[in-house]
Amino acid sequence: MSAWAFIRFYTILVYTFMFAPIAVVLLLAFNNSQFGGFPIDGLSLRWFAELFENEAIMRAFRTSFILGLMTAAVATTVGILAALALVRYQFRGKDWVTTFLISPVLVPETVLAVGLLIFLRWLHMPRSFTLLLLGHSIIALPFVVLVVQARLVGIRREYEEAARSLGASPVQTFFSVTFPLLLPAIFAGALFAFTISFDNITATIFWRPSGMETVPTQIFGMLRHSVSPEINALGFVMICITVGVPLLAGGLARYFSRRKV
């Protein structure tokens, strides 16, 4: 049991490391001072007020959110199909196929961005939201493939074969056996794709149509003049939403189910 205690302690340490900069951001969201970080001179909510009045950031937030959701849908669908092929079938040249699927990660984003722009010019297509969506999807695709693939390797074939031998059709097998087993991987892949899209800056700068800002490009624009703590407030709000909403939903569900009994 002491080994487990050590693992738990170690995990807590690593999570502390992961969250140290985030904690700083969250704390500074309440710092009254315009600039400067620690020590905090006073607490205030003024950055939250300014955040909600700042239309540009709110608009950028909406754009990023929609873009992230769509990227997750596209990249996860394509990625799962490819990962299935890689894990479930033996065929020649698999090494090369794997390399090919991972190749978008290998290309420095600046170069990928410029290359795609030249290609678009050749096709006489203007920059558009679609370009951003396709570009983000291709950046996220290798991650989805890797995450899903690692998970698929662990799923035992026997479950599916059992279902098949019990008379299920391949489609039925997929939806009643494979799909539920895949769900954690799908979820992880989609979440990954979403967050990668949400946080992408390098390529987005080149691909976005004029007048469209995502959260990172909006922040990038603010860098010339010092970053406003509104950004910390935005981070705070986002984290509250992503952690708080599921927690609240779960808590309420439990509360009401208990009332019924």
* Span 146-165, contacts to other proteins by CB under 8 A: 146-157
Q: In angstroms, give the least distance from the CB of 52 to other proteins.
A: 15
Cβ closest to other proteins, residue 170 vs residue 172 = 170
Least Å distance, CB 259 to other proteins, is 20
From 171-179, 182-190, 253-261, span contacting other proteins (CB under 8 A):
182-190
Applying CB under 8 A, does 110 fall inside the site for other proteins?
yes
Both tokens assigned to 201: 């800056």
Contacts with other proteins, 214-233, as mask; x by CB under 8 A: -xxxxxxxxxxxxxx--xx-
Of the residues 72, 82, 177, 193, which one makes contact with other proteins according to CB under 8 A? 82
Q: Please select the residue that binds other proteins; options are 45, 49, 94, 252, rule is CB under 8 A.
A: 94
Per-residue contact track with other proteins, 25 to 44, x per CB under 8 A? x--x----xxxxxx------
- What is the per-residue binding string for other proteins in 59-78, x denoting contact by CB under 8 A? x---x--x---x---x--xx
Q: Are 78 and 190 in contact (CB under 8 A)?
A: no
Would you list the DSSP string of the chain?
Answer: -HHHHHHHHHHHHHHHHHHHHHHHHHHHTTB-SSS--SSP--B--HHHHHHHH-HHHHHHHHHHHHHHHHHHHHHHHHHHHHHHHHHH---TTHHHHHHHHHHHHHS-HHHHHHHHHHHHHHTT----HHHHHHHHHHHHHHHHHHHHHHHHHHS-HHHHHHHHHTT--HHHHIIIIIHHHHHHHHHHHHHHHHHHHHH--HHHHHHSPTT---HHHHHHHHGGG---THHHHHHHHHHHHHHHHHHHHHHHHHHHHHHH-
Q: Is 238 in the site for other proteins (CB under 8 A)?
A: yes
Cβ-based nearer residue to other proteins, 106 or 166: 106
Q: Which of 26, 131, 9, 150 is nearest to 80 (CA)?
A: 150
Residue 234 CB, nearest approach to other proteins (Å): 8
Q: Site for other proteins (CB under 8 A): how many residues?
A: 136
Compute the least distance from the CB of residue 110 to other proteins, in Å.
5
Residue at token pair 């800002």: 213
Smallest separation, CB 45 to other proteins (Å)? 19
Stretch touching other proteins by CB under 8 A, among 105-113, 172-180, 253-261 = 105-113
